[in-house]
Structure 1
């Protein structure tokens, strides 16, 4: 997969089948668009591409909003490549770009620079200044500018439309398995292992403190069953998000106890895939009660069917 941050760098002998949008999470709804894109590209000998924005436009329109994303930029690249997209366009949502009308965007960018021959959009997608671009505009312009346009239907699970917002809400509520079902893969968080207070090792549960990217959405405070990737190997783990109230902690931390693992992994990057919610954050009466709960969480983690 080729990645472009400037449209002018893109050249191809073949026209392009393209979809555009934020694709935050690259969930099953997005996957249906990508699958259709690849099918159209194969049947018509077209390049395939996805045009998305970085940073998220909401950071531009609402700079004070505390928006957290389902994907970091590296995670989004990984998923797009995994799903066999040929070209990924990462457009900065700057002042010049945000002031393009929907029609200007189609004429100047999609047709003028990217030579789009087939365009696929989601069921609720709009674009351009004041959301002036939509499926109706694309249908109108497609005849004049000689491209085809297709609008995908929403993908449903349990009679509910899948959306990035619904997945965020599920994760924030601790409904991990529901979120994973909509994503089509386990929600994950990666980060560098940093030094913590090292209290865990004194009670038989040494944890790795993970420093995550600030834009990445974290599930609600509590304990989780996770799958941990360390140095390319997978392990079971029990992860805590919280402030460690039993020992009067104040700073929010992400800590994981890795079952059947020993070793120094400070300054290394690890990935945790969330599999199930265990319980909310608890302030125990003392260390003994904390250890009892950790023992029970370890038993549940060991017996969990991955």
Structure 2
């Protein structure tokens, strides 16, 4: 997959079958668009492409909003490549770009710079200044500018439309299985292992503290069953997101106890994939009660069957 940071780099001007949008999470709704894109590309001898924005436009429109994303840029690139996209355009949502009307965007960007011959958009997608671009505009311009346009309908699970917002809300409620079902893969967090207070090792549960990307959404505070990937090796783990209230902690941390593992992984990158929610963050009366709960969490983790979702390769 070729990645372009600006449109000038696309000098070949090969005709494209393209879709555009944020694609945060690259969830099953997005995957349906990508699958159709692949089919259209093959049937019409067009290269496939996705145009997305980085950073997220909401960082520009609402700089004080504490928006967290389902994917880091690295993860989004991985998923796009995994699903077969040939070209990924990453456009910065700068002042000049945000002031383009929907029609200007189609004419100046999609047609003149990207040579789009087939465009696929999601069921609710709008674009351009003041959301002036929509499916109706695309239909009108397609005849004049010689391209085809297709609108994909929403993908439903349990009679609910899949969306990035609904996945975020599920994660923030601790509904891991629901979020994973909409994503089509287990939600993951990656980061470097850093030094912590090392309290876990004094009670028989040494943990790896993960330094996560500041824009990455973390599920709600609590304990989770996870898979842990270290250098391509898979382990079971129990992960905590919280402030460690039992020992009067204040800083939010992400810590994972890795079952059947005893290596030194400080300063190394690991990935955890969330599989189930164990319980909310608890302030125990003392370390003895904490250990009892950890023993029970470990039993549940050991018994958990990691079969219900086909895993993607480690990031």
Report the TM-score when normalising by structure 2. Answer: 0.97
Unaligned runs of 5+ residues in structure 2 are: 307-315
Q: 1:5 and 1:121 mapped to 2: Cα distance?
A: 21
1:127 positional shift: 0.3
Q: 1:221 and 1:35 mapped to 2: Cα distance?
A: 35
Q: Deviations over 1:43-68 (max 9, x none)?
A: 11001000000000000000000100
Residue number in structure 1 paired with 2:52: 52
Residue number in structure 2 paired with 1:245: 245
Residue number in structure 2 paired with 1:147: 147
Residue number in structure 1 paired with 2:196: 196
Residue number in structure 1 paired with 2:283: 283
Q: Deviations over 1:75-128 (max 9, x none)?
A: 000000000000000000000100000000000000000000000000000000
Q: How many residues align?
A: 306
Q: Deviations over 1:126-167 (max 9, x none)?
A: 000000000000000000000000000000000000000000
Q: 2:96 and 2:15 mapped to 1: Cα distance?
A: 26
Residue number in structure 2 paired with 1:221: 221
Residue number in structure 2 paired with 1:265: 265
Instruction: Say if 2:303 is the partner of 1:303.
Output: yes
1:231 positional shift: 1.3
Residue number in structure 1 paired with 2:137: 137
Residue number in structure 1 paired with 2:311: none
Matched position secondary structure for 1:112: helix
Matched position secondary structure for 2:142: helix
Question: 2:101, 2:133 within 8 Å by CA — same for their partners in 1?
Answer: yes
Residue number in structure 1 paired with 2:166: 166
1:11 positional shift: 2.9
Question: 1:242, 1:254 within 8 Å by CA — same for their partners in 2?
Answer: yes
Instruction: Say if 2:175 is the partner of 1:175.
Output: yes
Q: 1:173 and 1:165 mapped to 2: Cα distance?
A: 12
1:176 positional shift: 0.2
Q: 2:138 and 2:5 mapped to 1: Cα distance?
A: 24
1:14 positional shift: 3.3
Unaligned runs of 5+ residues in structure 1 are: none
Question: 1:139, 1:149 within 8 Å by CA — same for their partners in 2?
Answer: yes
